[in-house]
Amino acid sequence: MPGGFEIVILVLVILLFFGAKRIPELARGLGQGIQEFRKASDDIKREIDKGGEDIKNPASSTSKNEEETKESESAKK
- Residue-level pLDDT, tens digit, the chain, 77 residues: 668 899 889 888 888 888 888 888 988 999 999 999 999 999 999 999 888 787 777 765 555 556 666 666 666 55
Could you tell me the pTM of the whole model? 0.50
Alpha-carbon span 21 to 27, nearest angstrom: 11
Contact present, 40 and 47 (Cβ < 8 Å): no
What total of structural domains would you count in the chain? 1
Domain of 16, in residue numbers:
4-72
Residue 77 lies in a domain: no
Residue 39 lies in a domain: yes
Residue 62 lies in a domain: yes
Contact present, 26 and 34 (Cβ < 8 Å): no
Residue 32 lies in a domain: yes
Residue 46 lies in a domain: yes
